[in-house]
Amino acid sequence: MKNSFYNEIQKYPWESVTHSIYSKTAKDVEYALNNPNPGLEDFKALISPAAIPYLEQMMIQSQQITQKRFGKTIQMYIPMYISNYCNNTCVYCGFNHKNHIERTLLSLDEILKEAQEIKREGFEHILLVTGEDNKHCNSDYINNIMKALQKIFALISIEIQPLETNEYKKLITSGLNTVYIYQETYHEGNYETYHPSGKKKNYRYRLETPDRLGEAGVHKIGLGCLLGLEDWRTDSFFTALHLNYLEKHYWQTKYSISFPRLRPHAGAFQPNYNTTQKELLQLICAYRIFNEQVEISLSTREDPSYRDNMLKLGVTSFSAGSKTNPGAYSQEKDSLEQFSVNDNRNPQEIAEVIKTNGYEVVWKDWDYYMQNN
């Protein structure tokens, strides 16, 4: 591989980065807030404990930057879980291969029924989600599904197992727009603790997936770390470092950031680090100040009141009406969900909240919206 983030990340030892973040001062935070072109050191300052007294100022700047770039809009999307088969044993996930649950793989007919229900809600952006299982959910299976769904939806995203560059290129010809691939944690030393077996155990292969996506020419890449595994500040710095690297090497690709916090699931794993709602607010504002172009998504993992408050403070995309078990929208299947949802409002209820706050709901994609407004 010509470019590799794995080589870049070796320049930043985890312990040194952590020390640097926690050593930031009020002076560093003030500099970051007044820097017209904030860099990675500024991002460290904005996520540091020293930035907490400046949170109100960060909120104001985040709101102003977001409205300048995206206007008063929120894009809506919905995940469709099509399989809970998985070969990995991630200790924090309900789809863990060792969990004794009923496994489900939706047929094309079942997926089309799910799609009909989702379409009735007004969605044009669909996110296909599977467990990571190349036997049941290989790229050919995904490709056939996308060919059928591109006749129904304007925008198709996927969150599946990492693929090879040529496989991503093939999916792009079938309508693939966006790929979400979360590293979960950038702490290489502890990574195997959370991923003891399965292909996901290979830290480097997963880390280099966005490089393969960039080489394939995918339209948008979604990044994120799973908040709760390691110190959120350090892991989030490495996510920002990853974003910064990708924007330089694959500048024609667009990017988004998500903030999954650990939620209850089948299994007994407990988070090692708690990320409070206030800290998540700080993180979202820090990302917006650091990068005014990146899209920021907040899922139904978060509770309704928190999401309502965040829609003005840097977020650009909301999921709505989410079900995390295959077949749930058409009630064809009664399968285990990947994690429990916190915001159970239906899409129209969330759309109404967005409108009440003076924002416009975007059901398609940003390119379409920008070209027609």
Residues 207-215, mean pLDDT to the nearest whole number: 98
Domain assignment of residue 297, given as a range: 5-371
pLDDT of residue 212: 97
User: How does pLDDT run across 55-86, given as a tens digit for each residue?
Assistant: 999 999 999 999 999 999 999 999 999 999 99
Q: How confident is the model at residue 95 (pLDDT cuts 50, 70, 90)?
A: confident
The enclosing domain of 164 has a CATH number of 3.20.20.70
Q: How confident is the model at residue 373 (pLDDT cuts 50, 70, 90)?
A: very low
pLDDT of residue 46: 98
What is the DSSP track for 302-353? S-HHHHHHHTTTT--EEE-S---STTTTTT------SS--S----HHHHHHH
- Residue 304 burial by Cβ neighbours in a 10 Å radius (0-12, 13-18, 19+): middle
Q: Enter the DSSP assignment of 3.
A: S
CB of 65 within 8 A of CB of 289?
Answer: yes
pTM of the prediction? Answer: 0.93
pLDDT of residue 340: 62
pLDDT at 334 over 60: no
Report the share of the chain in percent with pLDDT over 90.
Answer: 79
Which stretches of the chain are assigned E, i.e. beta strand? Answer: 73-83, 125-130, 155-159, 176-180, 220-223, 254-258, 295-298, 317-319, 360-362
Report the share of the chain in percent with pLDDT over 70.
Answer: 92
Domains held by the chain: number? 1
CB of 171 within 8 A of CB of 144?
Answer: no
Strands 254-258 and 220-223: parallel
Rounded to whole angstroms, the Cα distance separating 56 from 78 reads 31
Q: How confident is the model at residue 115 (pLDDT cuts 50, 70, 90)?
A: very high
Mean pLDDT of the chain: 91
Residue 255, helix vs strand vs coil? strand
User: How does pLDDT run across 303-329, given as a tens digit for each residue?
Assistant: 999 999 999 999 999 999 888 888 889
